[in-house]
Amino acid sequence: MPLPQTEVPGRLQAELMSRGLRMTHQRRTILSVVETAKQHLDASQILRQARRLDPGIDRVTVYRTLGLLKRHGLIDELDLMHMQGEKHFYERRPQRDHIHMACLRCGKIAEFESDLFDRLKGQIQRECRFHIVVSRLEVGGYCAECRASN
Amino acid sequence: MPLPQTEVPGRLQAELMSRGLRMTHQRRTILSVVETAKQHLDASQILRQARRLDPGIDRVTVYRTLGLLKRHGLIDELDLMHMQGEKHFYERRPQRDHIHMACLRCGKIAEFESDLFDRLKGQIQRECRFHIVVSRLEVGGYCAECRASN
DNA sequence: TAATCTATTGCAACTGGGTTTCAACTTACG
DNA sequence: CGTAAGTTGAAACCCAGTTGCAATAGATTA
Ligand SMILES: [Mn+2]
Ligand SMILES: [Mn+2]
Ligand SMILES: [Zn+2]
Ligand SMILES: [Zn+2]
């Protein structure tokens, strides 16, 4: 049993169950990893974390579960400017979208919420008559520390 | 000789030459393909087009040239929501950044320039003290036609 | 609780976009 | 020209992600 039964189901798990999807041990484990992540994780990091809870989990199950969560709009997929390889990163979809800033020197990722961003998405929906399902704004550049220290 | 000598060098080629880079036949050919593209092209499309002008060109040269153009900030790399595979798309960096909208039903890509987008980038630079080198805003959703016809 | 039905899993093989290596070849420059 | 450093093509390679399929395990029903 990977998770103690006392574990509260978590929002992701509750959301998937309410949509009538089967809840397996593997899914519960992967969901808990995604849900409690403190940073953006790629698929292999999610696999490693999941295996600490349930060593038998296969990477194909991680990919399939990430695909499921994506299709249901429960997580967002990020590129983070593909600074090291072509891998993708994941995070729980937040209540309010945010912008990702990737420092090209130190690699740090910062997040930023902005009313202007919300207004811009509103403008796109209105003026382009385009119904937005998912949006991703990523910028690459240099953070304050790196600009100062060089 | 892939291109007629009467061909005006083109902005990309002029830019690279002004930075002291060697101008080879292959580079000239690939630059002309990127420069005259009417839509966003992926690496294999660029290779196919380039081979029509210079059949000996290898795909590794396309990747190397795209890397060069990226490093010099002369082209932008797009994901276009990775709607079919993990490939990337390229376009000449425009004077003014634009947003890409990808319809998840018909696959059409639309572009949109917005003053709000420019202001948002200004806000990021000021409030986050982050110097933006490259920015990418992509949204996925449903275009007007697809919303109407279903 | 057991039977059933169907979705999900793990394994292994595969795909495809992109990279590395290196000898041969160009390019730019004096 | 002759030279030296940068660039190329070919082949092998890498690695994130996918596919096919038989075995397994949720959910539902009796
Ligand atoms: Mn990508
Ligand atoms: Mn564009
Ligand atoms: Zn930094
Ligand atoms: Zn459409």
Distance A123 CA to D14 C1' (A): 43
Q: What is the per-residue pLDDT across A67-78, written as a single tens digit (0 to 9) for each?
A: 999 999 999 999
Cβ proximity of A106 and A141 under 8 Å = no
- Ligand 4 centroid vs A113 CA: distance in angstroms? 29
Measured between alpha carbons, how far is B22 from B3 in angstroms, rounded to an integer?
17
pLDDT of res. B147: 93
- Which one is predicted more confidently, A11 or B46? B46
pLDDT of res. A18: 87
User: Residue A71, CB, less than 7 Å from strand D?
Assistant: no
Minimum-distance nucleotide, CA of B66 to C1':
C18
Minimum-distance nucleotide, CA of B87 to C1':
C17
Q: What is the mean pLDDT of residues B8-29?
A: 87
Q: Which residues of A touch B149 (CB under 8 A)?
A: none
Q: What is the mean pLDDT of residues B101-129?
A: 97
List residues bridging with B136 in a β-sheet.
A138
Measured between alpha carbons, how far is B55 from A140 in angstroms, rounded to an integer?
36
Dig out the tokens for B81 from the structure: 């929501």
> In sequence order, what are the residues at sequence separation of 6 or more whose Cβ sits closer than 8 angstroms to the Cβ of residue A34?
A12, A41, A46, A69, A75, A90, A91, A92
pLDDT of res. A8: 54
How many contacts (CB atoms, under 8 Å) link A and B? 112
pLDDT of res. A9: 62
> In sequence order, what are the residues at sequence separation of 6 or more whose Cβ sits closer than 8 angstroms to the Cβ of residue A45?
none
- Interchain CB contact of B142 with A (< 8 Å): yes
Q: What is the per-residue pLDDT across A17-62, written as a single tens digit (0 to 9) for each?
A: 889 899 999 999 999 999 999 999 999 999 999 999 999 999 999 9
Measured between alpha carbons, how far is A47 from A111 in angstroms, rounded to an integer?
24
Domains in chain B (CATH in brackets) are: 1-94 (1.10.10.10), 96-150 (3.30.1490.190)
- What does DSSP say about strands A131-142 and A99-103: parallel, antiparallel, or unpaired? parallel
Judge whether residue B99 has pLDDT over 70: yes
pLDDT of res. B10: 81
> pLDDT class for B4, splitting at 50, 70, 90?
very low
pTM, rounded to two decimals = 0.91
Instruction: Protein contacts on strand D: list nucleotides below 7 Å from a Cβ.
Output: 6-11, 15-20, 25-28
